[in-house]
Copies of this chain bind each other. A is one copy, B any other.
Amino acid sequence: MFEKLRGVRDFYPEDYHGRKKIYESLCRTVDRYGFKEVCTPSIESLDIITKKSGDAIVDEIYAFKDKGGRDLCLIPELTPSVARMVVQRQKVLTKPVKWYSLSRHWRYERPQKGRQREFYQFNVDIFGSHSSRADFEILACGIECLLDLGLDNFMFHISDRKVLESFFSGLGISVKDAFNIVDKRSKVTEDEFFEMLSSIGLDEDWYKTLIEMLDINGNINECIGEISRISGDLDQGAQDALENLRQVGELLAYYGLEDYCKLDLSIVRGLAYYTDMVFEVFDKKKSMRSLFGGGRYDNLIGLFEGQEMPAVGFAIGLPMLEILMKEEGIWPEPDFGPDYFVVTIGDVDDVALKIIKSLRKDNVVEFSYGKKNMSNQMNLANNLGAKKVVIVGERDVKEGKATIKDMVSGEQKVMELKDLLE
């Protein structure tokens, strides 16, 4: 038998139904924030991808040459393509640019639960604003995306990379190395964590200070003051970052969403392109499984040879939402039964098709393609899960009537044809 490739997915109708409902819900949410939908190509020049992620990414993606010898690839994420689109029209776009997209991505990696070679992500980004209000909108919008899907057992852990950046660089420690280690904290023992940090030059006193900072974990507005108290002197960038976080926390509280947010400086997001505010969303139920994340990436547009332009956004993986909604029992199950199934007895195609056309104005209507007897047709109506059956028989038609049967209650009633045809 011919088979699909490993790590890709066939969506049969029952699978696609829920996926589309999720997409529609996400669109409704972000539309209300004024985001506009865009769509990028699935293939790009390879250099657009390596420009953002470095050459090493080539080993993890579908890269190939086209017949003209050009290096291209299936896009492994949306951001480079969107950045390219922004740069192309940077001068004429009304700022801030607020875009979203559901897009298909490909990575050549070992398939596992929730991680396929072909996968779908929902991206939301704001370009052109430095403001804490843009940070707030991205967070509020991300929170409401989940709430509108019926999910509420999650927590947004929010930080700003500038705080720990200032802390480590003030001590003369490589920020990149330090962030790589901080990112691994939950995966190693406390001793190992200390060893790793010690090896890049953090002494025991500063280690204790760091741990105190990383352990801050609570309401943004309540915790923000603690940071400067613990950390000691912070440079201007970090102080601005704290003020930004304070404003974000305030706006989230005004907006009534602060209960879904925590300050958590241990969130640094390994990805090098984030610059300031970062966040990661965790499932409160399943031992803090990470759901998705986002943040500010003010340097990316410049990297793509555009004028420097601040940006903030997030990407949600749809497989993750599907797993979560199924666990919560809120995955939208389809009801594929047609509203009407039209059964014909004898030579009544003329009338039956006129009834079908009339009902199809507002309803899903099916009928048997084979010329079967009445009980065959009723069986098919049943198998399809039809809600009502219209029985069009020769004798009834002569009297200008047809019978409607409610397939749930079993009730039958005779109707005037002219009413059915209106």
Contact = CB atoms under 8 A, between A and B. Distances in A.
Interface of A: 1-5, 8-13, 16-17, 19-20, 31-34, 36-45, 47-48, 51, 59, 62, 64-67, 70, 72, 74, 81, 84-85, 87-89, 94, 96, 99, 104, 106, 108, 118, 126, 129, 131, 133-134, 137, 250-251, 254-256, 304-305, 336, 338, 349-350, 352-354, 356-357, 360-361, 363-371, 383-384
A349 B1 CA distance: 62
A2 B72 CA distance: 13
B5 A44 contact: yes
B11 A38 contact: yes
20 contacts: A4-B41, A4-B44, A5-B43, A8-B43, A10-B88, A11-B39, A12-B38, A32-B360, A33-B365, A34-B384, A42-B74, A43-B62, A43-B118, A62-B66, A64-B64, A67-B108, A94-B384, A131-B370, A133-B370, A254-B353
A16 B39 contact: yes
A76 B124 CA distance: 29
B12 A254 contact: no
B84 A256 contact: no
A350 B368 CA distance: 60
Given A2-B304, A3-B88, A13-B38, 14 more contacts: A4-B84, A5-B45, A8-B41, A8-B43, A10-B38, A12-B89, A13-B36, A33-B366, A36-B336, A42-B42, A62-B64, A66-B108, A254-B353, A255-B353
A93 B92 CA distance: 51
Nearest to A350: B254
B94 A32 contact: no
A126 to B, nearest CB: 8
Contact of A31 (B3, B33, B67, B364): B364
A202 B364 CA distance: 49
Contact of A42 (B37, B104, B254): B104
A53 to B, nearest CB: 14
A369 B129 contact: yes
Nearest to A62: B66
Nearest to A129: B369
Given A2-B51, A85-B12, A255 B357 contact: yes
A68 to B, nearest CB: 9
A9 to B, nearest CB: 7
Nearest to A354: B254
A383 B94 contact: yes
Contacts of A350: 254
B5 A305 contact: no
B338 A2 contact: no
Contacts of A31: 364
Contacts of A133: 367-370
Contacts of A87: 1-2
B34 A349 contact: no
A20 B361 CA distance: 21
A351 to B, nearest CB: 8
Nearest to A99: B13
A365 B32 contact: yes
Contacts of A254: 349-350, 352-354
